[in-house]
Amino acid sequence: MVFTAVMLTANAIAYLGKAIDNGNSHFSLLILASVFIYGILAYIFKSRLIWAFVLISLGAWFGTETGYLSRWNWYFVGMNYPLRFVLFGLCLTAFSFIIKDNKKMGMFFQVNYVCGMVYLFVSLWLLSVFGNFGSLEEWYSVRQISLFYWALLSAAFCLVSIYIGLKYRDDIAREFGITFLFINLYTRYFEYFWDSWHKALFFCVLAASFWFIGRRAEKIWNLEFLKK
């Protein structure tokens, strides 16, 4: 019932925008209004589901507002959409720890944290594939190996997330790091080695790399356990 009410609220805001539209195409203001409406409702009813829609609406507003400010150019302050949302995800994740110990907002910590990590890691993965290019035509004109540094950045975030997750017993950080490290490695394989590497060789290298990561993770976990 709450989900249905959220959808109907979004529908009402959309029709309000249609009724007062003056032709300037600044519809991101309506999305921003939905952020505040959902935020008030989430706070009043202590609803984590509604708070998730606050964050979804906030992401939609960020994307459309930066698009509007750049006159729907692919770049905003020199950043394409994936790079912008990497920064957005970082800010949202950091905000999670600001509200973690707050008596009134602490209940939204986990939802906020997970949503922030989704924005961050999905954007990093897209950035590792497309780089900071503004159009598919530009992307097609370069070799994929030239974007390798973006892939390294994405992998570095995954490794840091795994380390933090193991060191501080943060299941969310650990699982996001491991999942997207797998996705990153598989993506790189299909980009660089699908036609040149023997398939069995690749999976042997993949298995060895995760054995090494697992051994290191186990060592860190045991050291932290002994300290406590």
Q: Is 135 left (phi over 0), alpha (psi -120 to 50) or beta?
A: beta
Comparing 128 with 198, the larger pLDDT belongs to: 128
pLDDT tens digits for 180-217?
988 888 887 777 665 565 666 666 766 776 676 666 66
pLDDT tens digits for 73-118?
888 988 999 999 999 999 999 999 999 999 889 999 999 999 999 9
Residue (of 208, 205, 154) closest to 183 by Cα position: 154
3-state secondary structure of 79: strand
Distance from C-alpha of 226 to C-alpha of 19, rounded to nearest angstrom? 64
Give the per-residue pLDDT at 166: 86
Angle at 3 between CA 2 and CA 9, to 5 degrees: 90
Q: What percent of the chain has pLDDT over 70?
A: 85
- Kindly list the distances between the CA atom of residue 220 and the CA atoms of 16, 105, 161, 169, 176, in Å, as whole numbers in the listed order: 55, 32, 14, 11, 18
Q: How many CB atoms lie within 10 A of CB 143?
A: 8
Residue-wise burial string across 67-85, b where 16 or more C-beta atoms lie within 10 A, e elsewhere: bbeeeeeebbeebbbbbbb
pTM for the complete prediction? 0.82
Helices (H), 70-198: 81-99, 109-130, 136-140, 148-167, 171-188
